Chain A
Amino acid sequence: MLYPTTSQTVGPYLHIGLSGLNCADLTAGLPDPGAPKVVIEGRVIDGQGNPVPDGMIEIWQADAQGVYRHPDDPGYAGKDDARSAFTGFGRVPTEPDGSFRFTTIKPGRVAGPDGTWQAPHLVVSLFMRGLLKHLSTRMYFPDEAQANENDWILQQVPAARRATLVAQQTDNGGLRWEVVLQGKGETVFFDI
């Protein structure tokens, strides 16, 4: 048995090594991403409400049919690639005002524990100076109230805090999702 390598912070200069993989638009170059595009905008703020200007966010999600582009997804294994040109991966740095923006699609439902179906969601990793280990969270969709209600993972979260994981609809048809690292309205983070 080996022990996993100890995590260390990305530090303030992460952009040097990590910008090459930036992807803010997961639908870019796809003639048919399989579902309507949705813009997710938000901000990362610290325990004093200050924006985090030097962080990075990664998202991972299934395609519109609820299939991950990965051999361990039984729905993907053996399928031809054409359908899943959608990679499901996004990465952006946070802007000087702490903001971030992704363009993507709402994923389909994927299997959850105990034979349940999870509500549509993104899994999200946060990296920044001051995080010795990245934070894991999830973003759910506001127009899926019923599915969210029955989501196995969301049910592990105290009811009063679940709203921190659900984006809000904006007037222009997009989604807004704030990530609060600490204190009032603190976002739920998971130990996976």
Chain B
Amino acid sequence: MSQLAQYRRPFWDTQPGYRFDPYGSTQLRSPNEPLIVVPQTLSEITGPAFGGAFVRQGDNDLTRIASADAIGERIIVSGRVLDENGRPVPDALIEIWQANAAGRYLHKRDQHDAPLDPNFSGEGRTVTDAHGRYQFKTIKPGAYPWGNHYNGWRPQHIHFSLFGRAYATRLVTQMYFPGDPLLEFDPIFQCVPDVKARNRLVATLDWETTVPEYALGYRFDIVLRGRNATPME
């Protein structure tokens, strides 16, 4: 069978499945039938390229959407987007969203009794540079309760959505913060058996990007699927 050079399949236990009972919402939204494994065709090795056209200057600064500063602990979140082969992924669109410092989302379905901040919407986007680098300035999100289980609380996190080079490299994930005691109780964070894999979702404190007297830096590198060098025969 001749095929295009393929994006690799995930290593065992490093990606979640669909049904995961501790996270209740998976129970009615996960397929019962096994997924059908197919090779990637031209349809999957291509994908939308947004480049910079979709991103405006300042879209990576979530702290200044209005005339006044957002409330909370200012942070710099940065890193590189690489593929499995260690090569940078340039021009990758990154969209992020998050709760405010009080743990409240600017969303009509969020009924948590915590204050909204008129100077914080919680959305940002950027595109990686030629070296795969990206950077956001934002506010450290608060933890918040959710109804998954009794006294359930989500650890502090930022949602990330990425387009790499192909439909096959699409990734949505969440970034967490080091030392958060809620991580070990969070079914979403705990969704994969591989401890190292989930710990890679935890950013590290980064002195290089920490700005003295201004903001702490956190580093979060993201790895997208990488392609085999040669077509499979």
Contact = CB atoms under 8 A, between A and B. Distances in A.
Interface of B, secondary structure class, is: loop
Determine the interface band of chain A, counting residues with CB < 8 A from chain B.
35 or more
A20 B95 contact: yes
B159 to A, nearest CB: 6
B15 A4 contact: yes
Interface string B111-132: 0000000000111110000000
> How extensive is the interface on chain B, given as a class?
35 or more
Nearest to B81: A5
Contacts of A161: 33
A191 B161 contact: no
Interface in B71-88: 82-86
A171 interface: no
Contacts, number: 241
B181 interface: no
B30 A113 contact: no
Contact of A182 (B28, B50, B222, B223): B28
Contacts of B17: 132-133
A39 interface: no
Interface of B: 1-3, 9-11, 14-18, 20, 23, 25-33, 35-50, 54, 82-86, 95-98, 105-107, 109-110, 121-125, 159, 161, 165-168, 170-174, 188-189, 191-192, 196-198, 200-201, 222-226
Given A21-B54, A182-B28, 19 more contacts: A3-B11, A7-B173, A8-B188, A9-B25, A11-B159, A13-B97, A16-B106, A16-B122, A16-B123, A17-B98, A69-B46, A87-B48, A111-B42, A113-B2, A125-B170, A132-B188, A133-B15, A186-B32, A191-B35
